[in-house]
Chains A and B, each alone.
Chain A
Amino acid sequence: MAQIMLWEAIQRAHDEEMSRDPLVICMGEDIGVAGGTYKATKGLYEKYGPLRVMDTPISEGGFTGLAIGASFLGVRPIVEIMSVNFAWLAMDQMFNSAAKIRYMSGGQLAAPCVFRSAGGAAHQLGAQHSARMEKVFMGIAGLRVVTPSNPKQAYGLLKSAIRCDDPVFINEHELMYNMKGEVPDGEYFHPLEGSEVARAGTDVTLFGYNISVHWCLKAAEILDKQYGISAEVVDLYSLSPLDRAGIKASVSKTHRVVIAEEDEAPVGVGSEVIAIINEECFFELDAAPVRVHSALVPQPYNHTLEKAAIPDHEDVVKAVLKLFGKA
């Protein structure tokens, strides 16, 4: 297994799928000649040419709709939306066309598109370039939402998303493209549904996804070494559908829950996970679940304010200690 960076994992998935199937194409702003803002499509323009690696005008609604229309005829477009903040402009097409086409055509048409987008707060990018929007996508019938926390997932989720006949939104993170990790040398398909235990534990479950998995893993390390608390970390790589069975299994084992998300709390992943716990295993709980989340503010530019708005592993540790009456 090779150690590669997350952007390289995404690039490899593109390359393999485009070389296998001439109807797999990719499009987005600066993805071709420039190689992609995050290098995720590096070298593809030279290899597959402008008909299949399309540098688009800055028209998110337009090119997203164009990709969806092409997918009606069996084309498998991978659309990169440079920043998830720009996805608002494409949501009409994603939600009204891609997500609903199978249903409103009575199963006659489908939109097997992949929409990839970088979200999350990076470094002082301000209010209009720092959004987390997974909560918006995961509430839409007909759309799958996945979010990788490491290069292996980034590679395998994209491979599966391209093959799947449903539209899939892949929520990436601006700060994670250079993260290194092991990716299988052979072809690998990550499941689009489910969750995975990133670290086994017995005393408390820390639910995370994408970047917050890493806060949870770091917090688990601290809790173990400094406080003798054994935390289980569950990686919710599938946000729609959420893994009800996986959530229930872990909560039934640890009986305590912290959900960590970079998004703001209202109407978010944490709310959904708590609702699922209520429905599936409420009486397994020994304490009320706790959410760790962003402040409900447009992301501030000022470095100190930005840091204050976004949680990290220390907030996860604090939440667990509070749950155990140690803080």
Chain B
Amino acid sequence: MKIEDKKRVLREMVLHRRFEERCYQAYIERKIGGFLHLYPGQEACCNGVMEAARPGHDYVITGYRDHVHAIKCGADPKEVMAELYGKETGSSKGRGGSMHIFDAAHHFMGGYALVGGPFPLAAGIAKAIQLKGGDEIAICFLGDAANNQGVFHETLNMAALWKLPVLFVCENNLYGIGTSIERSTAVVHQHKRVAAYNIPADECDGQDIDIVYEHARKAVDHVRAGNGPFFLELMTYRYRGHSMSDSRGYRSREEEEVWKQRDPILMLRDRLITAGAMTMADYETIEKETDAYIENEVIKFAEESPEPRVEDLEKYVLADRESQQPWLTGKAA
């Protein structure tokens, strides 16, 4: 990555971190309901991979920890926050919530709440790309625990069989909800599991964005060149619990501190400062500007936006009736 790109990405990662921390606060204030799964600690994964890919062009799909992936693809943070507030201006018009952010215009194909559910959907998106002959790829970001679902294996098999242009990114944060990977999974290193399907795979540090970027570039290039699927495992850590109801009783504070010593944002910041590309004061300005933007624009937009109308409760269950008349009535022109 060029130095200018790194500076831009640092600013984006600060936004991603502060956005999530602000969600935490809004949740405590009961402005946000439902379940809330936050991303702090894992920022280098999404950012490193998407810097190597083409955000807004390549199709991205993920699980329920989806705010940052949506924003990275091009979703407006204001609309993402409005979605969390359940507002009509939200990215899914208040019908989805935290776990179901969508931005089809930016090819962000959604967050899904069934662990592993996006695997075959990602392969299907890749199948559509293959049929249409485009140069996009499908990127499926999921956690390590999703790999214990049957569809993981079913999907890898089909993706390899049909040489589908799909990159599977496994953000291995070592816990599936509150169960550590050693206690749930016979093979801790997930990239080893895909060898059974003859899919090339790689593993790297998921905290250092430069490392993620270098590995992701090879992975993205492999898939875009028409060589079929690739599996990239990123070793990472989520600072908060699985969701807001999780008090992290299953792991030690010491373990958390060890991971925080390798914080993805601070590592990038320090590297840029050491290289003379920015000063600590510059970084503090970024933080301040980001917080001001979140407060004055993002939160303000979410707060002031209208709720969906109750009359529209059943809108979007099915396609608009008018447009479907020929097939509903059999009276095709």
Contacts and interface: CB of A to CB of B under 8 A. Distances in A.
Interface of A: 22-23, 25, 51-52, 54, 56-57, 59, 61-75, 92-93, 96-97, 101-110, 141-142, 144, 156, 160-161, 163-166, 187-194
Contacts of A73: 59, 125, 128-129, 132
Contacts of A63: 120, 154, 158
A165 B131 contact: no
Contacts of B91: 106
A54 B130 CA distance: 13
Interface stretch (B6-14, B109-117, B273-281): B109-117
B315 interface: yes
A106 B317 contact: no
Contacts of A165: 319, 323-324
B150 A75 contact: no
Interface string B90-127: 11111110001011110001101110010111111111
A65 B151 CA distance: 9
Given A66-B123, A105-B104, A193 B150 contact: no
Nearest to A55: B161
A164 B319 contact: yes
B323 A70 contact: no
B124 A65 contact: yes
B154 A62 contact: yes
Interface of B: 59, 61, 90-96, 100, 102-105, 109-110, 112-114, 117, 119-132, 150-151, 154-155, 157-158, 161-162, 315-319, 323-324, 326-332
A23 B95 CA distance: 29
A75 B128 contact: yes
B102 A105 contact: yes
Contact of A69 (B100, B127, B131): B127
Given A62-B119, A68-B124, A108-B104, 13 more contacts: A51-B131, A54-B162, A65-B117, A66-B158, A68-B121, A74-B128, A96-B112, A96-B117, A108-B102, A164-B319, A189-B326, A189-B330, A192-B330
Given A68-B124, A73-B128, A166 B324 contact: yes
A93 B112 CA distance: 11
Nearest to B107: A73
A228 to B, nearest CB: 35
A106 B95 contact: yes
B330 A156 contact: yes
A92 B149 CA distance: 12
A93 B124 CA distance: 12
B124 to A, nearest CB: 2
Contacts of A51: 130-131
A62 B155 contact: yes
B158 A193 contact: no
B102 A106 contact: yes
Given A59-B154, A62-B154, A96-B117, A106 B123 contact: no
Nearest to A75: B128
A26 to B, nearest CB: 13
A72 B319 contact: no
B318 A144 contact: yes
B109 A72 contact: yes
B117 A92 contact: yes
24 contacts: A57-B157, A59-B151, A62-B120, A63-B158, A65-B124, A65-B151, A66-B124, A69-B125, A69-B126, A70-B131, A72-B121, A73-B132, A102-B316, A105-B104, A106-B93, A106-B102, A108-B105, A109-B102, A109-B109, A141-B317, A142-B318, A156-B330, A163-B326, A193-B328
Most chain B beta-carbon neighbours within 10 Å: one of A51, A54, A110, A191: A191
A211 to B, nearest CB: 22
Contacts of A68: 120-121, 124
